């Protein structure tokens, strides 16, 4: 008898041992995802802020005083160059430029991004300006020009002449004549004392060179007397070719003990009260600078002197002239005798 084969038994399935995700795990994963997305979004937003041009300052430039990165950022905000000092500080610190930022005046003529602005400040790409001290200016003219210059820091404005000299380490009794007339390229927003220091150093260099090149036998005791004589020459003529002859007349008079009788020195002694018209009363009124009433050189220079006047003072023309008078065209008529001089005066001043 046939028998049925035994029925096949279905294999048993073991239940999984892997635990189901817990609620806390799901929350942690979701939190990490949110954090990652937030950081990425913040980074993208920060990058966009740093890269997008902001409106240029209304003045077209910013002037920054030295200070911390936070102080500089605050100044940029106050002057309309950025909208967020905090973000600018973060940008500077993240980029490692927070210790490289330099004070000065920066021209910003178009919309600029915070990142480009940061690089500009780190490079010190300041807006340089040109400041000119003019030959023949006196010290009052120099102070007036510095005090009214809109792009200089006016550190000297409230200082006396003596205090300015002390700040510059100059031992002279007067600042007159001690700054070389030149056009100086200087960082906008920097101190006018810095400019004066440069101008004095250049004057001292030129004066030392002139003193070393002086003719023998000049009645000048030291470089300061050269500077005084050069200032008289500077103010007495508008024609460069006449300067050695003017210096020669003054040297001849000093050697003979004659008074120099130079009108610009008298005018300087009158000071700001001078109204543009020199009178006999001016010539007769004794002041330390009246070379009609006093012998020798004036006590100080009367103007800032250029190189040509310095050269003339130490290399005067070989001349026997003792007098000169302006012709009215910037040149002078030179005379050896008083009679010749009086005739020249009648010709050029009384016509």
pLDDT tens across 178-195, in order? 999 999 988 777 899 999
Q: Tell whether the model's pLDDT for residue 54 goes beyond 70.
A: yes
Q: Shortest CA distance to 109 belongs to which of 47, 56, 180?
A: 56
The residue written with tokens 């004549």 in the block is 177
The predicted pLDDT at position 1 comes to 47
Q: Tell whether the model's pLDDT for residue 111 goes beyond 60.
A: yes
The predicted pLDDT at position 237 comes to 86
What percentage of the chain carries pLDDT values higher than 70? 93
The torsion angles phi and psi of 100, rounded to 5 degrees, stand at -105, -5
Residue 182: Cβ within 10 Å count: 18
> CA-CA distance, 334 to 241, in Å (whole number)?
13
* pLDDT band for position 39 (cuts 50, 70, 90): confident
Q: Which two tokens stand for residue 60?
A: 């077209």
* pLDDT band for position 291 (cuts 50, 70, 90): very high
Q: Tell whether the model's pLDDT for residue 62 goes beyond 90.
A: no
What topology does CATH give the domain 61-123? Dna Ligase; domain 1 (3.30.1490)
Q: Tell whether the model's pLDDT for residue 61 goes beyond 70.
A: yes
CA 164-170-173 angle, to 5 degrees, is 80
Q: Which of 26-30, 287-291, 318-322 has the lowest mean pLDDT?
A: 26-30
Q: What CA dihedral angle connects 77, 78, 80 and 83, to 10 degrees?
A: 30
> CA-CA distance, 301 to 83, in Å (whole number)?
53
Helix axes 85-95, 69-78, angle to 10 degrees: 140
Total count of residues recorded for the chain: 351
Q: Helices marked H in 261-306 — which ranges?
A: 263-270, 280-284
The predicted pLDDT at position 81 comes to 86
The predicted pLDDT at position 129 comes to 77
CA distances from 188 to 106, 114, 130, 331, 345 (A): 8, 21, 9, 39, 49
The predicted pLDDT at position 3 comes to 52
pLDDT tens per residue, range 237-266: 878 889 999 999 999 999 999 999 999 999
The predicted pLDDT at position 10 comes to 56
> CA-CA distance, 8 to 147, in Å (whole number)?
112
pLDDT tens per residue, range 314-335: 999 999 999 998 888 878 888 9
Using only the alpha carbons of the chain, give its radius of gyration.
39
Q: What mean pLDDT is reported for the chain?
A: 88
* pLDDT band for position 269 (cuts 50, 70, 90): very high
The predicted pLDDT at position 133 comes to 95
Tell me, yes or no, if the pTM score tops 0.75.
Answer: no
Domain boundaries, the chain: 61-123, 128-207, 215-349
What percentage of the chain carries pLDDT values higher than 90? 52
| 1 compared with 28, residue with greater pLDDT | 28
Q: Which of 19-23, 84-88, 151-155 has the lowest mean pLDDT?
A: 19-23
> CA-CA distance, 179 to 304, in Å (whole number)?
6
First-to-last alpha carbon distance for the chain, in angstroms, is 169
Residue 245: Cβ within 10 Å count: 22
* pLDDT band for position 160 (cuts 50, 70, 90): very high
């Amino acid at each position: 008898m046939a028998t049925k084969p035994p029925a096949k038994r279905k294999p048993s399935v073991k239940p999984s041992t892997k635990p189901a995700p817990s609620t806390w795990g799901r929350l942690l994963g979701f939190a990490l995802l949110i954090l990652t997305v937030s950081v990425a979004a913040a980074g993208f937003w920060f990058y966009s802020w740093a890269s997008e041009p902001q409106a240029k300052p209304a003045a077209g430039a910013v002037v920054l005083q030295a200070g911390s990165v936070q102080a500089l950022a605050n100044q940029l905000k106050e002057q309309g160059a950025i909208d967020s000092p905090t973000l600018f500080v973060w940008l500077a610190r993240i980029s490692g430029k927070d210790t490289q930022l330099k004070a000065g005046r920066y021209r910003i003529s178009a919309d600029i991004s915070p990142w480009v602005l940061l690089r500009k400040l780190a490079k010190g790409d300041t807006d340089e300006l040109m400041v000119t001290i003019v030959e023949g200016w006196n010290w009052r003219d120099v102070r007036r020009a510095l005090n009214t210059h809109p792009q200089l820091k006016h550190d000297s404005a409230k200082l006396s002449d003596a205090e300015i000299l002390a700040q510059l380490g100059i031992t002279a009794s007067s600042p007159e004549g001690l700054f070389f007339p030149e056009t100086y390229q200087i960082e906008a927003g920097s101190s006018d004392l810095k400019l004066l220091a440069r101008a004095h150093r250049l004057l001292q260099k030129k004066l030392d060179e002139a003193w070393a090149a002086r003719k023998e036998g000049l009645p000048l005791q030291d470089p300061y007397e050269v500077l005084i004589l050069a200032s008289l020459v500077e103010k007495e003529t508008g024609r460069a070719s006449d300067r050695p002859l003017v210096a020669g007349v003054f040297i001849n008079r000093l050697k003979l003990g004659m008074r120099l009788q130079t009108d610009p020195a008298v005018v300087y002694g009158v000071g700001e009260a001078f109204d543009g018209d020199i009178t006999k009363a001016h010539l007769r009124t004794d002041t330390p600078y009246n070379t009609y009433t006093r012998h020798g050189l004036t006590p100080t220079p009367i103007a800032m002197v250029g190189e040509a006047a310095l050269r003339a003072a130490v290399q005067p023309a070989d001349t026997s002239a003792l007098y000169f008078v302006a012709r009215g065209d910037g040149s002078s008529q030179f005379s050896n005798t008083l009679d010749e001089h009086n005739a020249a005066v009648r010709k050029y001043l009384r016509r």
